[in-house]
Amino acid sequence: MSRLKQVLISIDALNADDPNIERVERKDVPREQLYSRRMTDQLSLFRPEASDELRIAAHAQHVRRWASPRSNYPEGKAGYYRWRTELGRMHADLAVEVMADAGYSTESQERVRKLLTKQGIKQDEEVQALEDVICLVFLQFYFLPFAEQHAEEKVIDILKKTWAKMSSEGQQAAQELALDPKTRDLVLKALK
């Protein structure tokens, strides 16, 4: 078995304990295992030549996310950003640990840490590619449930912020997604 496959299987094993379950194709799947699969699938479409490090970062983007719920942090932007920063570090620590077990070099481990903590977004091509994939997965699978819980003004503001995070290549890929009509309509409103 390749080192990459070993790491991806280890990340899936860490996510197997997710108490949050989603039903997909008549099967119950731990939510973060499903998210990892969606990230890996989208990366394969967006960057088929991706490095092992980028593949690992995409698969580990939400590893054990449920273990650090947003509710453990203060309300408001400061609490939200602290939660997101600490989550990034946690995801990176877990990814690096399984990479070490699989025999990846310290240099590769630190590269994944940089990717998962979003160091160099908009300057580092792989960090930006990871952000693009995150946004694409959000738009395709998670946006509509989010939109249904919030006022249209807030939803459009989130879409504008999401769009700004993406590269022009990511924006083009987003326009090519098979989005449901409501999501497509809101994206068009946000882009006006």
pTM passes above 0.75: yes
Contact between residue 69 and residue 46 where contact means Cβ atoms under 8 Å apart: no
Checking if the pLDDT of 1 tops 90, the result is no
Kindly state the greatest CA–CA separation across the chain: 49
**60-71 pLDDT, tens digit each:** 999 999 999 999
- Under the banding of pLDDT at 50, 70 and 90, the label for residue 9 is very high
What confidence tens digit (pLDDT) does each residue in 99-115 have? 999 999 999 999 999 99
**36 pLDDT above the threshold of 90:** yes
Mean pLDDT of 27-54: 97
Average the pLDDT over 29-45 and give the result. Answer: 97
Q: What's the whole-number mean pLDDT along residues 17-25? A: 94
Judged against a pLDDT cut of 90, whether residue 90 lies above it is answered with yes
For residue 192, the model assigns a pLDDT of 84
Alpha-helical segments (H) within the chain: 3-15, 31-46, 52-59, 76-101, 106-116, 125-137, 143-147, 152-165, 168-175, 181-191
Give the three-class secondary structure for 85: helix
- Write out pLDDT tens, residues 127-171: 999 999 999 999 999 999 999 999 999 999 999 999 999 999 999
Neighbours of 112 (CB within 10 A): 26
Mean pLDDT, rounded, of the chain = 95
> How far apart, in Å, are the Cα atoms of 182 and each of 35, 141, 147, 175?
22, 13, 9, 14
- Quote the pLDDT of residue 150: 92
Beta bridge partners of 23: 28
The two structure tokens encoding residue 30:
């731990």
Q: How far apart are CA 16 and CA 83, in angstroms?
A: 22
| Residue 58 clears pLDDT 90, i.e. is over it | yes
159: which residues sit within 8 A by CB, 6+ positions away? 143, 186, 187, 189, 190
Share of the chain above pLDDT 90, in %: 91
| Whether 61 contacts 134, CB under 8 Å | yes
Q: What tokens appear for 90 in the block?
A: 């946690």
